[in-house]
């Protein structure tokens, strides 16, 4: 649902322009990280994320950051198809942002156990598989609008640095993209035939 | 006939004794002056050595400045840092200059371009950045989910 602009559009537009200009100043650096700014027209910014550690490097996520009513409201973040810009349903998003409790020096095996036991926090949330997933993080509109976070008003965070374009993109990259280091391929063999060399067939 | 032809033996012996003492006094003066000269030479050497060390220290400090472009929440600010400075101090200066004072400095992680978190307690020189580097101050994510 599109929320009507309440703040003077000139104010939100000026703050939007400032955010985009700051991004443009460091765009070459961000591109090296795999951030691709595909479109920026008030009130929305479309950014795709490529996982640069993988070969070939896939686009693993794309988000539309909506600055409507910024910064009386924090930006809204939605996961979209990077080519069509269509909002994705939770069942179609093959992307997650993981966050574990601080445990310096913990071995990978312990992290795997923690993950199995649900001790790893998932920052991309959805109410239902057929609902749009959202980024559940302070500084993001969907977090502050969520009924579970009514006690954590955006106005307590506004001006602290959270909710800026750089902050949101950096968190998606840190928790969702940088942990990706390789492809996982699963093969399921239905039929197994024995192979032979044709020249090996006796006369 | 010698000049001392009219003097008695005792007079001559007293005169010789007197001259001997005079010579000893002169020797003492010479020794004392040589000691003063030696002390002055030693001091001159120390001062020259101190001047050399100060010059080297100045050159060293001058050569070991690092121009750090600190990107604070997307906003770049240039900090001239010394290699002996802690990254925590550079962070404090960058936050002060950009007026990002709502959060304590500890809530800002220092990262390089690749996203690696750097230790704020380490000195700038320990990371061998070279003359220039771009670092990022990234606000820690709040409790999510």
* DSSP class per residue in A57-122: --EEEEEEEE-TTTTTSPPEEEEB-TTT-PBPPGGG-----EE----TT--HHHHHHHHHTT-SEE
B102 to A159: CB separation less than 8 angstroms, yes or no: yes
Complex ipTM: 0.82
Closest residue to A162, CB basis, from B75, B114, B142: B142
Global pTM reads 0.76
Whether residues B138 and A174 touch (CB distance < 8 A) is answered with: yes
The tokens describing B130, both together, are 């070279």
Q: Looking at the domain assignment, is residue A65 inside a domain? A: yes
Return the pLDDT at A197: 81
Say what the pLDDT of residue B1 is.
46
Domain boundaries, chain B: 9-62, 65-139
- SS3 assignment, position A171: helix
Size of interface A-B (CB pairs under 8 A): 68
Give the distance from residue B53's alpha carbon to the nearest chain A alpha carbon, in angstroms.
41
Residue B4 pLDDT exceeds 60: no
| Amino acid A105: pLDDT | 84
- Contact list in B for residue A137 (CB cut-off 8 A) is 141-142, 144
Q: Is residue A4 one of the residues assigned to a domain?
A: no
pLDDT in tens, B11-49: 999 999 999 999 999 999 999 999 999 999 999 999 999
Nearest-CA distance from A189 to chain B in Å? 39
Residue A101 in any domain: the answer is: yes
Decide if A3 is inside a domain: no
- Is the Cβ–Cβ distance between A85 and A101 less than 8 Å? no
* Mean pLDDT computed over every residue of chain A: 92
Q: Give tens-digit pLDDT for B73-128.
A: 999 999 999 999 999 999 999 999 999 998 999 999 999 999 999 999 999 999 99
Nearest chain A CA: its distance from B131 CA (Å)? 18
The domain B65-139 is classified under which CATH number: 3.10.20.90, 3.40.50.10440, 2.60.40.10, 3.40.50.880? 3.10.20.90
Query: For position B43, what pLDDT does the model report?
Result: 94
> Are the beta carbons of B74 and A136 separated by less than 8 Å?
no
Verify whether the Cβ–Cβ distance B139 to A160 is below 8 Å: yes
- Residue A70: give the domain boundaries: 9-200
With CB atoms and an 8 Å threshold, state whether A33 touches B113: yes
Nearest to A165 among B74, B102, B138 (CB): B74
**Number of folded domains that form chain A:** 1
């Amino acid at each position: 649902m599109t929320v009507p602009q309440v703040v003077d559009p000139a104010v939100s537009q000026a703050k939007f322009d400032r955010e985009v200009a700051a991004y443009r100043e460091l765009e070459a650096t961000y591109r090296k990280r795999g951030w691709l700014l595909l479109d920026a027209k008030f009130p929305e910014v479309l950014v795709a994320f490529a996982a640069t550690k993988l070969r070939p490097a896939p686009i693993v996520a794309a988000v539309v950051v909506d600055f409507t009513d910024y910064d009386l409201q924090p930006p809204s973040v939605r996961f979209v198809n990077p080519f069509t810009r269509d909002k994705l349903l939770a069942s179609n998003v093959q992307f997650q942002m993981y966050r574990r409790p601080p445990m310096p020096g913990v071995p990978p095996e312990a992290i795997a156990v923690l993950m199995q036991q649900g001790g790893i926090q998932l920052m991309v949330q959805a109410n239902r598989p057929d609902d749009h997933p959202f980024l559940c993080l302070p500084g993001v509109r969907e977090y502050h609008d969520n009924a579970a976070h009514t006690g954590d008003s955006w106005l307590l965070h506004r001006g602290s640095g959270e909710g800026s374009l750089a902050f949101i993109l950096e968190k998606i990259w840190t928790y969702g993209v940088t942990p990706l280091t390789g492809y996982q391929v699963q093969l399921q063999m239905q039929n197994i035939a024995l192979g032979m060399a044709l020249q090996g067939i006796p006369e | 006939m010698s000049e001392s032809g009219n003097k008695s033996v005792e007079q001559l012996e007293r005169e010789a004794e007197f001259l001997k003492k005079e010579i000893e006094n002169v020797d003492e003066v010479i020794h004392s002056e040589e000691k003063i000269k030696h002390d002055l030479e030693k001091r001159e050497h120390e001062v020259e050595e101190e001047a050399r060390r100060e010059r080297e220290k100045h050159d060293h400090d001058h050569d070991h400045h690092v121009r750090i472009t600190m990107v604070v929440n997307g906003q770049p600010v240039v900090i001239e840092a010394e290699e002996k400075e802690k990254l925590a101090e550079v962070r404090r200066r960058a936050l002060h200059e950009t007026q990002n004072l709502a959060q304590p400095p500890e809530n800002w992680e220092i990262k390089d371009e690749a996203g690696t978190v750097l230790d704020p307690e380490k000195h700038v020189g320990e990371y061998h950045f070279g003359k220039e580097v771009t670092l990022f101050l990234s606000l820690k994510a709040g409790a999510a989910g």
